[in-house]
Chain A
Amino acid sequence: MIKNILNLGDAALYCDFGSDVNQEINSNVIKYFYHIKKLNLKGITNLTPSYNKLIISYDLNIHSFLSLKKKIENIEIKENNKLEKNLIEIPVCCDNNFALDIKRVENKLKLKSEIILEKFFSKNYFCYMTGFVAGMPFLGDLEKDMRLKRLETPRVKVPKGSVGITEQFCNIYTFETPGGWNILGNTPQNIFDTSNQSNPNLVNPGDTIKFYRITLDQYNEIKR
């Protein structure tokens, strides 16, 4: 399933699963990720799955590129290996104070805000990967008529909990960070929990997400 293994610098393998972004390729990446993680190989310092790549960082004192590449190439994963999936429901409030880019999205998609939100909440989303900042899930796919580009100028600060869309994807800002996604609402739910060290992420690669809409009162209630 790995098409090619290159080096990323001198201390990481760059495993290429293809150039398309779809759930089939991504599921293969995730299967490899969980499989290698379980092997607990000495000297592997990080595994980073993404849409169609898996990056394996290693300790240069223990491995060289060629020796580790051979090890990874020899791994066999059964095609029918089932991926464990959880369904996670996440509340989102789309009050005007939270839906920072709803006007822009209306203009770009030429749809009324109510239609946009109805479409957004009617789908389940697949988690391709988490990262950039701690716990941030990259979810997809949005319907074709819901796709638009990032903001021309990214925000310096996107509020924590913001739910945004860009192209075929949506995400949740787990921390206040700079960012350029189109923000449709905000969740009061904590997506990344530092105090839970065994499983800090609410959403993990392979999971399915269902967003449901809540009022401002409900938002404040949960937040309390």
Chain B
Amino acid sequence: MKSKDRNYFKILRAGINTTYQDLGRNNLYHIGIPFSGAMDKRNFQLLNSLLQNDYNSSVIEFAYQGPHLKYFGKDIFFCISGNVSFKIITKEGVIDGNSYQCYLLKNGDEVDIHSTNKSVYGYFSINGTFGVDYYWGSCSINTQAQIGPNNGNKFSKDLEIEIIDINNSFNKRKLDYLGSTIENIRVIKGTNYDYFSESSQNKFFKESFKITKLSDRMGMRLEGPKIENIVDPNIKSEGLVKGVIQITSAGDPIIMLSDHGTIGGYPKIATVISADYDRLVQLTPGSNIKFKDVSLEDAETLYKLYQMETNNIISQIK
């Protein structure tokens, strides 16, 4: 491709953990490959809807500090979802951008994504398609197993992000959405719930746990009251799923997130319900979590309600 025909972003600053993500890859747990995919599926879905992209189009996910991008090519629109502070730098000047609004970028313009606010993940995309390779049907980057585009590594400075297609029939759209927060994280009791003493079971639901800095796309480590195991600190290794809360030998909870190891040998005290996963992953280190016990039937209903709410938000895009 001749350089004058190219449309691309050059990364001036990569940010802390910037990767391509989509809905992730299925049916590979048995060989040790987790789902991966966008951590916050609702914000992923809102972004592709705002940009009129296909529902599983690749987007750029960032955590805490995002990337600083400089654009080269013909006119394009971009949009950011999540609770994010960013600036748009053009020849006319610098403006503060708002999430869930589409902005025009011209050749030489820049987007500087400073940070996510009181949250962890944000998403960036364009009215078009990034030039990414697919691995097992997904372009999600799993840095732990080095699977995905960019050799499975997170973005680094000077990397160029190719755009292979721009949707020219795009109409600029916006959404008034403030995001959704949550008081308690709802869980279903786990398969090893009876491994823990009655007083620890009570503490697990009555007291709060602090999210530690040892949290990333693989898992979230918590600290709080020690959970006392009265049976065996280990189980025979078995499969894990997203949202499972294991208790380590030291008595601390660890929640499995999208890039988690597929097999684990710590007892499972509970599992976060699907309806609360998007909001769980957005909780920042230092904040507190309280768990609330719900039944399987309630969890299934809550998930349906959560999906309805997402569709309702999408229908408000103007």
Number of interface residues of A (CB under 8 A): 48
CA distance A53 to B26 in the complex (A): 19
CB distance from A175 to the nearest CB of B (A): 6
Give a binary string over B171-205; 1 marks a CB under 8 Å from any A CB, 0 the rest.
00000000000000000101100000000000000
Please give, as numbers and ranges, the residues of chain B lying within 8 Å of A65 by CB-CB distance.
296, 300
CA distance A7 to B294 in the complex (A): 13
Give a binary string over B253-280; 1 marks a CB under 8 Å from any A CB, 0 the rest.
0000000011110001001111000000
Please give, as numbers and ranges, the residues of chain A lying within 8 Å of B303 by CB-CB distance.
10, 60
A48 touches B135 (CB 8 A): no
CA distance A134 to B152 in the complex (A): 13
Please give, as numbers and ranges, the residues of chain A lying within 8 Å of B30 by CB-CB distance.
33, 37, 46-49, 129-131, 205
Please give, as numbers and ranges, the residues of chain B lying within 8 Å of A64 by CB-CB distance.
300
Q: Give the residue among A21, A48, A130, A174 with the most B Cβ atoms within 10 A.
A: A48
CA distance A21 to B188 in the complex (A): 27
A55 touches B238 (CB 8 A): yes
Please give, as numbers and ranges, the residues of chain A lying within 8 Å of B272 by CB-CB distance.
9
4 residue pairs, one from A and one from B, having the closest CB atoms: A48-B239, A9-B271, A55-B239, A10-B299
B145 touches A8 (CB 8 A): no
CA distance A52 to B236 in the complex (A): 8
Any chain B CB within 8 A of the CB of A57? yes
Give A195's nearest chain B residue, CB to CB: B135
Which residue numbers of A lie inside 8 Å of B, CB to CB?
A: 6-12, 14, 19, 21, 33, 37, 44-55, 57, 60-61, 64-65, 129-136, 138, 174-175, 177, 192, 194, 197, 200-201, 204-205
A50 touches B300 (CB 8 A): no
Please give, as numbers and ranges, the residues of chain A lying within 8 Å of B300 by CB-CB distance.
10, 60, 64-65
| Chain A binder among B1-9, B31-39, B91-99, B113-121 | B31-39
The 18 sampled A-B contact pairs (Cβ below 8 Å) are A9-B271, A9-B274, A10-B271, A14-B191, A19-B236, A37-B27, A45-B26, A50-B237, A51-B236, A55-B238, A65-B296, A130-B32, A132-B261, A132-B262, A133-B261, A135-B32, A200-B31, A201-B31
Any chain A CB within 8 A of the CB of B283? no
Q: Give the residue among A44, A54, A129, A192 with the most B Cβ atoms within 10 A.
A: A129
Q: Give the residue among B146, B237, B272 with the most A Cβ atoms within 10 A.
A: B237
CB distance from A129 to the nearest CB of B (A): 7
A10 touches B273 (CB 8 A): yes
Q: For residues 45 through 85 of chain B, which have their beta carbon under 8 Å from a beta carbon of chain A?
A: none
A21 touches B236 (CB 8 A): yes
A175 touches B274 (CB 8 A): no
CB distance from A58 to the nearest CB of B (A): 10
Option from A10, A51, A175, A192 in Cβ contact (under 8 Å) with B238: A51
CA distance A197 to B138 in the complex (A): 12
Please give, as numbers and ranges, the residues of chain A lying within 8 Å of B296 by CB-CB distance.
7, 10, 65
CA distance A65 to B297 in the complex (A): 9
Option from B190, B236, B264 in Cβ contact (under 8 Å) with A132: B264
Given contacts A55-B241, A61-B307, A132-B263, 20 further A-B contacts (CB under 8 A): A8-B191, A9-B241, A9-B271, A9-B299, A45-B27, A48-B240, A52-B238, A53-B238, A57-B29, A60-B303, A130-B30, A131-B29, A132-B261, A132-B264, A133-B261, A138-B237, A192-B31, A192-B32, A200-B31, A201-B31
CA distance A9 to B189 in the complex (A): 8
Given A175-B144, A175-B145, A9–B261 Cβ distance below 8 Å? no
Please give, as numbers and ranges, the residues of chain A lying within 8 Å of B29 by CB-CB distance.
46-48, 55, 57, 131
Please give, as numbers and ranges, the residues of chain A lying within 8 Å of B307 by CB-CB distance.
61
A11 touches B191 (CB 8 A): no
Any chain A CB within 8 A of the CB of B102? no
CB distance from B281 to the nearest CB of A (A): 15
Please give, as numbers and ranges, the residues of chain A lying within 8 Å of B263 by CB-CB distance.
48, 50, 129, 131-132, 138
